Amino acid sequence: MTSFWIVPLAAVALAQVAVLATSMYLHRALAHRSVVVHPAANLLFRAVLWLTTGQDRREWVAVHRFRRFASDIREDRLDRAVFSRGSIGLALGATLLCLVLGLWQGLIAGSVHAVLYVFVLAPLINGLGHWRGAQNFSNTAYNSPVLARVTAGESLHNNHHAHPRSPKFSVRWFEFDPSWLVIRALAAVGLLVITGTPATLVGSGAPSGEP
């Protein structure tokens, strides 16, 4: 039996892994093509998202673009056989967590993670990002540099609206984009290629695509 102090730690760690994978893979790699991931990293990201969120990648990208389909992302054999079955992923993820932490600890950590991901982090990113915060560029979105530290950089939403194809969401010294740190680490070991140009504070703030 694992002691109960591990439960909040595991829940926060899981939510962080899920939000980082969402930002780096679903958002930056698939929706905006600002990075291209190696096939091994591609599989790892999909497995992590399947186990921690049960999300369908094509659905996520389509919703982000306000369309019904993401026609540029083909459904492959793994999508059909494994990753499109979100509830199986979540059940398997919960089972693995219970095996590692113990039954109740696993169930509670998994539930807290789900609440954090769905009801805390997502509304903070989407709601606050169009409601309150700082602005570097003139558009309808706002930055929350403090929140960005726990939302994988996603709360630098004003910067993202100005530079949708930038793989890096921070532009000022006090803004920190955790995903960019991981992106550079993965690029250094050849698991990812950075294709978009990192945004800077100077330069046109003209949107070059959809946010």
Give the residue among 37, 38, 18, 27 at the shortest CA–CA distance from 70. Answer: 27
Q: How far is the CB of 189 from Zn ion (least distance, A)?
A: 26
Q: Please say which residue, 141 or 199, places its beta carbon nearer to Zn ion.
A: 141
Q: Which is nearer to Zn ion, 10 or 141 (CB)?
A: 141
- Which C-beta is closer to Zn ion: that of 45 or that of 97? 45
- The letter for the amino acid at 210 is E
Q: Which of residues 107-166 bind Zn ion (CB under 5 A)?
A: 141
Say which residue the tokens 């113990």 belong to: 102
- Work out how close the CB of 199 gets to Zn ion at its nearest, in angstroms, rounded to a whole number: 13
Shortest distance (Å) from residue 210 CB to Zn ion: 7
Give the amino acid at 75: E
Q: Give min distance, CB of 125 to Zn ion, in A.
A: 9
In whole angstroms, how close is the CB of 31 to Zn ion at the nearest point? 6
Residue 105 or residue 166: which is nearer to Zn ion going by CB?
Answer: 166
- The correct pick among 106, 153, 205, 211 for binding Zn ion (CB under 5 A) is 211
Instruction: Examine residue 196 and tell whether it contacts Zn ion (CB under 5 A).
Output: no
Question: Of the two residues 112 and 121, which places its CB atom closer to Zn ion in the complex?
Answer: 121
Residue among 141 and 192 whose Cβ is closer to Zn ion: 141
Token pair of 53, please?
């969120």
Taking CA atoms, 25 is separated from 81, 133, 143, 151, in Å, by 20, 26, 21, 14
Q: How far is the CB of 27 from Zn ion (least distance, A)?
A: 6
How many positions of this chain bind Zn ion (CB under 5 A)? 2
Q: Exposed, middle or buried: residue 40 (CB in 10 Å: 0-12, 13-18, 19+)?
A: exposed
How many alpha carbons lie under 13 Å from residue 186 in its C-beta half-sphere?
Answer: 26
**Listed residue (116, 110, 112) closest to 98, CA to CA:** 110
Q: Select the residue whose beta carbon is closest to Zn ion and give its number.
A: 211
Q: How many CB atoms lie within 10 A of CB 96?
A: 13
Q: How many helices (H) and strands (E) does the chain have?
A: 10, 2
**Residues engaged in binding Zn ion (CB under 5 A):** 141, 211
